[in-house]
A and B are shown apart, each in its own frame.
Chain A
Amino acid sequence: MELKSSFDTFLQEIRPTKNQRDDLKTGHRTLRNRLTMDRKLAPIIVSDFLQGSYRRATAVRPNGDKRSDVDIIVVTSLHEDQYVPEAAIQEFVPFMEEHYKGKYRIQGRSIGVTLSYVELDLVVTSAPSEQELRILKAQAVTADDDLEAAHDWRLHPGWHALNDRVMKAAQVQLLEAAREAEWKAQPLRIPDRDAGKWEDTHPLEQIRWTRTKNASCAFHFVNVVKAIKWWRLVKYSEPKHPKGFPLERLVGECCPDGINSVAEGITRTLEAIVSTCANVAALGQKPWLADYGVPTHDVFKRISAADFAKFYDQVKAGAVIAREALDSRDQKESGELWRKLLGDKFPKPPENGGKKEGGFSPRESVTIATPGRFA
């Protein structure tokens, strides 16, 4: 059974908490204000925006008390010919000392800033080309609305953040943004893992791809990603990888279009991973998956074949449970199977729910269900 309302509850429990979402928004806003007021940095900052799983609405709540990582891109006008990545990052140190003393650390290619409930992960870019400046400063890029909140997000200069749509002028621009073609953004250049050189990344294309996929899955795709991420988190401590974006990318590759529920999506995605990667797994190898917008990057680069093999077996087992849970006609049995797959955050099925599909609970008295409201 699809158990829609149980899945609704489950998804509420695994998405980031309200505190985490509010903290991120406040933290980002504060950072942005401070950057624009900073005499040294303001001239070299082009834009900054939220990227990553938070923006794509695929982030899950971290286990326990851990803070979740929130990725922010800071677009600078520092040219690659003049600045190696490490030097570009160093430009931010005085600012960090002033505003986030004791709360920041340089970590290879990014700067981590510790807030109350989240950890901001700032990734600095080198100067983009002139044509990109307009879109990088547009609300479609800079707004914090994630894909779940903003159903109509499009990469267009006329798109407005959700809290900026009351004026008629904004509404007219929104119509244009809906009608006209999207901007074809170029990749940005960020430090590689060792901050040794600049390499391509395309967060806007990741957001755009996810938006399109989500729309073709009746808005269930991002929830399928979250559920499968969660399954890996709670069921298996080993191997650590794939997780995060590589796992999300694999789900994106295998989740079929046209699904009608999260339950169907999880089941068919796990089964699709099994079938799609069967050959690769049989050969003891791992798949090659191109990043959105950067076809030369292999998202699975850092995952070992051995890890993938273990992961593949977990998927096989999970697919079987999911299929049983989906096909079961008994609410209690189905609920218990989903719980077995997804953990305790999935609500327990009701005790007397052991009836076949479509049954009503027996009448306890002669009165029928009394309404409580009238109009």
Chain B
Amino acid sequence: MFRERERCWSIAVAITSSIASEFIPTTTLWFILFSDGFPFGRLAFMPAKQGGIVCTFPHQEANSEGTLSCPWREGKICLDMPIQSLGIVGGAIEPLGDPERRIVWHAERAVRWVEAAARNDLTRVGEPFELPRYPIGRALLSIIHAETSESYAAWTKVRFQSGIVRLRRLRRANAALVATEFQTFEGDEIYASSLPNAPDSSPANEIGVWWKWPVPVVVPPWQAPASWDELRQVGERVGVDVDTTLRDIAARVRGRGRPVLLIGYDMPLRVGSAPTERHWAAIQLPRLKKAFKNSRNANDALWDRDRERVFGSEKKIEYLRTENWSADRMQARGRFKRTLCESNVALIGGGALGSVVAELLVRGGVQQLTLIDGDTFTAGNLARHTLTSADFDKKKALALADRLRLVSLHTTVTGVAQQFPEAKDAAEKLLSDATIVIDCTASDCVLVNLARCWWPVPRLFVSLSVGFEARRLFGFAAFGNTFPIDEFERRVVPWVEQERARLRDSGETLEGAGCWFPLFPARCDDISLAAGLATTLVDRLVANCPPEPRLFVYEQTHDELGLLAYGRVLETPGS
């Protein structure tokens, strides 16, 4: 039947399994929901309120009651994810578009899900560990932290179960607080997380409390406690005295606005493995009144009151959205090799090629970048640059640095709005800490100035430029204490002569009437292709540093329809 209110079709079904458990009877009732677009669109199995399961299992949404008029609970079971116990390991694809096959596909899995749930076999050793779902509701505040396996090492040394967390408010569309430092109640630092570019609006530190539990805090089988009473139940089962701890926490945060409570436990990457990371679930507490007189009687009376009004049996826990913004997570979709990410990169030249290379490096995980460019960004640069019209008349280095800080949470970006110094001392000082120096200036003068310098610690030099219409990419790489300009000239000059000839033969590209200086033709998509290839080249060079200076030349090949490929050119020009 079509449900007006929920805007979907629903069918009531019963699933009978061969076994039962304390959480799930042999026969359970369900509703199958379909959207209008069936056999495409949404298809979900929901537990019925009458005769269905009332608790939450792994691989299931939080199974709360939901709206009164709705005959099913909110705990949609996950059937289309790779779950070992359902016999799905990658491979099996949901047959969208075929009505009968699609229902059968889901129904078969639903039966297997119910049986696995009854056997307590929904999660198997080796599977990725899944957190319980938290009923976030409509809370707008988010809490951000950056726990990693490295910070976990700091936590293993801590014997306290709770302490202070310092939070800083972020400038965002929705309000957010970043956990900057975890401390003991005495004020000793446990560790400080650094998100260099998390934009902050106020330097003032807000205070919250962290509370560590020995095991995942779930009401069996796998439900985040929705009320304080449920939390007490979990505490009783695992030996945590909830009321005493809450009373102590309340005493610490009385009178301090609306405090945040982080409940945490250690979790593994995979079921059955040792824990590798601290998980936090953030809870919003209401403002707790402070006693006028700091007497024991006054504090006792306050606690008795709060125990009833704030932490009472039926009172719901107000969970907040909690996000982990560590670099490992944010860059899990793909990043450069560790050596490159941990390098201190200096990029000279924030023009067309340099701006794209800088952005790719930063998005790909480079943690320290210095940009050196003395030019101003103008309208004519828009055709092939990452900056926008909001950056007109700004210094490229500074505008790019601002932009890149917005692009990555974890990179420290410094913009130096000057041409690369001619003076040896100034140039050496500017690049003294760099472990990779990338030149994107296509300027022989800059290379001459660079070659005058000498650094005690050797570094990788990469000079990148493109040829006529950016059809060729030139990447010169050398490792050492100084830039070997003689080697560069020897290898690059023959290619440059060819490019000059092509440019001359093609006629001048002038911006317009009255413009005397010709432009270098190179379209934005060709620049982007070259920049992508150049960045990959840098990643490879960091892993396989060339013992001798080398020039890598890549060239586009075309057929009558357009671009075919980007290939490495092995022979030198004229040979």
Q: Check if A165 sits within 8 Å of B442, measured CB to CB.
A: no
Mark the stretch among B237-245, B316-324, B457-465 that contacts chain A: B457-465
Question: Does B467 sit within 8 A of A, measured CB to CB?
Answer: yes
B445 to chain A, nearest CB (A): 12
Q: Check if A375 sits within 8 Å of B481, measured CB to CB.
A: no
Q: Check if B481 sits within 8 Å of A373, measured CB to CB.
A: no
Q: How far is the CA of A149 from the CA of B498 in the complex (A)?
A: 34
Q: Check if A373 sits within 8 Å of B503, measured CB to CB.
A: no
Binary B-proximity of A137-162 (CB < 8 A = 1, otherwise 0): 00000000000010110000000001
The residue on B at minimum CB distance from A178 is: B456
Q: Check if B458 sits within 8 Å of A372, measured CB to CB.
A: no
B568 to chain A, nearest CB (A): 18
Q: Check if B458 sits within 8 Å of A165, measured CB to CB.
A: yes
Q: How far is the CA of A171 from the CA of B459 in the complex (A)?
A: 12
Q: Check if A375 sits within 8 Å of B503, measured CB to CB.
A: no
Question: Does A237 sit within 8 A of B, measured CB to CB?
Answer: no
Q: Check if B474 sits within 8 Å of A370, measured CB to CB.
A: no
Mark the stretch among B13-21, B120-128, B351-359 that contacts chain A: B351-359
Question: Does A174 sit within 8 A of B, measured CB to CB?
Answer: yes
Q: Check if B441 sits within 8 Å of A166, measured CB to CB.
A: no
Q: Check if B457 sits within 8 Å of A375, measured CB to CB.
A: no
B401 to chain A, nearest CB (A): 18
B113 to chain A, nearest CB (A): 52
Q: Check if B458 sits within 8 Å of A375, measured CB to CB.
A: no
Question: Does B508 sit within 8 A of A, measured CB to CB?
Answer: yes
Interface of A is mostly: loop
Q: Check if B454 sits within 8 Å of A373, measured CB to CB.
A: no
B436 to chain A, nearest CB (A): 13
Question: Does A116 sit within 8 A of B, measured CB to CB?
Answer: no
Residues of A within 8 A of B508 (CB): 367
Q: Check if B467 sits within 8 Å of A372, measured CB to CB.
A: yes
Q: How far is the CA of A198 from the CA of B118 in the complex (A)?
A: 95
The residue on B at minimum CB distance from A175 is: B456
Q: Count contacts on B: residues with CB < 8 A to the other chain.
A: 35
Q: Check if B457 sits within 8 Å of A174, measured CB to CB.
A: yes
A152/B456 contact (C-beta < 8 A), A372-B496, A372-B497 known: yes
Residues of A within 8 A of B522 (CB): 374
A260 to chain B, nearest CB (A): 12
Residues of B within 8 A of A367 (CB): 504, 508
Question: Does A362 sit within 8 A of B, measured CB to CB?
Answer: no
Question: Does B520 sit within 8 A of A, measured CB to CB?
Answer: yes
Q: Check if A371 sits within 8 Å of B466, measured CB to CB.
A: no
Question: Does B470 sit within 8 A of A, measured CB to CB?
Answer: yes
Q: Check if A374 sits within 8 Å of B458, measured CB to CB.
A: no
Q: B458, B464, B497: which contacts A162 (Cβ < 8 A)?
A: B458
Q: Check if A174 sits within 8 Å of B353, measured CB to CB.
A: no
The residue on A at minimum CB distance from B530 is: A375
Q: Check if B456 sits within 8 Å of A375, measured CB to CB.
A: no
The residue on B at minimum CB distance from A365 is: B504
Q: How far is the CA of A368 from the CA of B352 in the complex (A)?
A: 23
Question: Does B364 sit within 8 A of A, measured CB to CB?
Answer: no
The residue on B at minimum CB distance from A174 is: B456
A375/B504 contact (C-beta < 8 A), A151-B454, A174-B456 known: no
B212 to chain A, nearest CB (A): 34
A sample of 10 cross-chain residue pairs with beta-carbon separation below 8 angstroms, ordered by A number, consists of: A149-B481, A166-B458, A368-B517, A370-B504, A372-B497, A373-B466, A374-B467, A375-B351, A375-B442, A375-B465
Residues of A within 8 A of B500 (CB): 370-372
B28 to chain A, nearest CB (A): 61
Q: Check if A372 sits within 8 Å of B503, measured CB to CB.
A: yes
Q: Check if B470 sits within 8 Å of A374, measured CB to CB.
A: yes
Q: Check if A375 sits within 8 Å of B497, measured CB to CB.
A: no
Q: Check if B456 sits within 8 Å of A374, measured CB to CB.
A: no
The residue on B at minimum CB distance from A8 is: B486
How many contacts A-B (CB < 8 Å)? 66
Q: How far is the CA of A178 from the CA of B428 in the complex (A)?
A: 15
Residues of A within 8 A of B518 (CB): 370
Interface of B is mostly: mixed
Residues of B within 8 A of A152 (CB): 454, 456
Q: B352, B353, B442, B454: which contacts A371 (Cβ < 8 A)?
A: B442
B438 to chain A, nearest CB (A): 10
Pairs of residues from A and B, 9 with the lowest C-beta to C-beta distance, nearest first? A372-B496, A373-B465, A375-B442, A375-B353, A372-B499, A374-B520, A373-B442, A372-B500, A375-B440
Q: How far is the CA of A178 from the CA of B504 in the complex (A)?
A: 51
Within 8 A of B (CB), among A338-375: 367-368, 370-375
Residues of B within 8 A of A174 (CB): 456-457
Q: How far is the CA of A331 from the CA of B192 in the complex (A)?
A: 64
A162/B481 contact (C-beta < 8 A), A171-B457, A371-B503, A375-B353 known: yes
Question: Does B264 sit within 8 A of A, measured CB to CB?
Answer: no
Q: How far is the CA of A151 from the CA of B456 in the complex (A)?
A: 8
The residue on B at minimum CB distance from A219 is: B454
Question: Does B349 sit within 8 A of A, measured CB to CB?
Answer: yes
Q: How far is the CA of A28 from the CA of B29 in the complex (A)?
A: 86
Residues of A within 8 A of B466 (CB): 373-375
A60 to chain B, nearest CB (A): 19
Binary A-proximity of B495-537 (CB < 8 A = 1, otherwise 0): 1111110011000100000000110101000000000000000
Residues of A within 8 A of B517 (CB): 368
A289 to chain B, nearest CB (A): 31
Q: How far is the CA of A162 from the CA of B455 in the complex (A)?
A: 10
Q: How far is the CA of A156 from the CA of B499 in the complex (A)?
A: 50
Q: How far is the CA of A374 from the CA of B504 in the complex (A)?
A: 15
Residues of A within 8 A of B486 (CB): 12
Q: How far is the CA of A236 from the CA of B497 in the complex (A)?
A: 42
Q: Check if A165 sits within 8 Å of B457, measured CB to CB.
A: yes
Q: Check if A373 sits within 8 Å of B474, measured CB to CB.
A: yes
Q: How far is the CA of A373 from the CA of B504 in the complex (A)?
A: 13
Residues of B within 8 A of A371 (CB): 442, 500, 503, 520
Q: How far is the CA of A372 from the CA of B466 in the complex (A)?
A: 9
Q: How far is the CA of A373 from the CA of B495 in the complex (A)?
A: 9
Residues of B within 8 A of A178 (CB): 456
A373/B456 contact (C-beta < 8 A), A151-B481, A162-B481 known: no
A364 to chain B, nearest CB (A): 12
The residue on A at minimum CB distance from B353 is: A375
Within 8 A of B (CB), among A1-31: 12
Binary A-proximity of B342-364 (CB < 8 A = 1, otherwise 0): 00000001011110000000000
Q: Check if A373 sits within 8 Å of B440, measured CB to CB.
A: no
Q: How far is the CA of A372 from the CA of B458 in the complex (A)?
A: 29
Residues of A within 8 A of B349 (CB): 375
A374/B481 contact (C-beta < 8 A), A165-B458, A178-B456, A367-B504 known: no
Residues of A within 8 A of B454 (CB): 151-152
Residues of A within 8 A of B520 (CB): 371, 374
Q: Check if B457 sits within 8 Å of A374, measured CB to CB.
A: no
B475 to chain A, nearest CB (A): 11
Q: How far is the CA of A149 from the CA of B492 in the complex (A)?
A: 24
A165/B456 contact (C-beta < 8 A), A373-B465, A373-B466 known: yes
Residues of B within 8 A of A151 (CB): 454, 456, 481
Q: B457, B458, B467: which contacts A373 (Cβ < 8 A)?
A: B467
Q: Check if A370 sits within 8 Å of B457, measured CB to CB.
A: no
Q: Which of A149, A166, A372 has the most CB of B within 10 A?
A: A372
Q: How far is the CA of A371 from the CA of B508 in the complex (A)?
A: 12
Q: How far is the CA of A151 from the CA of B453 in the complex (A)?
A: 10
A176 to chain B, nearest CB (A): 12
A25 to chain B, nearest CB (A): 14
Q: B352, B492, B496, B499: which contacts A375 (Cβ < 8 A)?
A: B352
B482 to chain A, nearest CB (A): 8
Q: How far is the CA of A375 from the CA of B476 in the complex (A)?
A: 14
A262 to chain B, nearest CB (A): 15
Q: How far is the CA of A239 from the CA of B520 in the complex (A)?
A: 60
Residues of B within 8 A of A373 (CB): 442, 465-467, 474, 492, 496, 499
Residues of A within 8 A of B458 (CB): 162, 165-166
B337 to chain A, nearest CB (A): 16
A264 to chain B, nearest CB (A): 17
Q: Check if B467 sits within 8 Å of A375, measured CB to CB.
A: no
A259 to chain B, nearest CB (A): 15
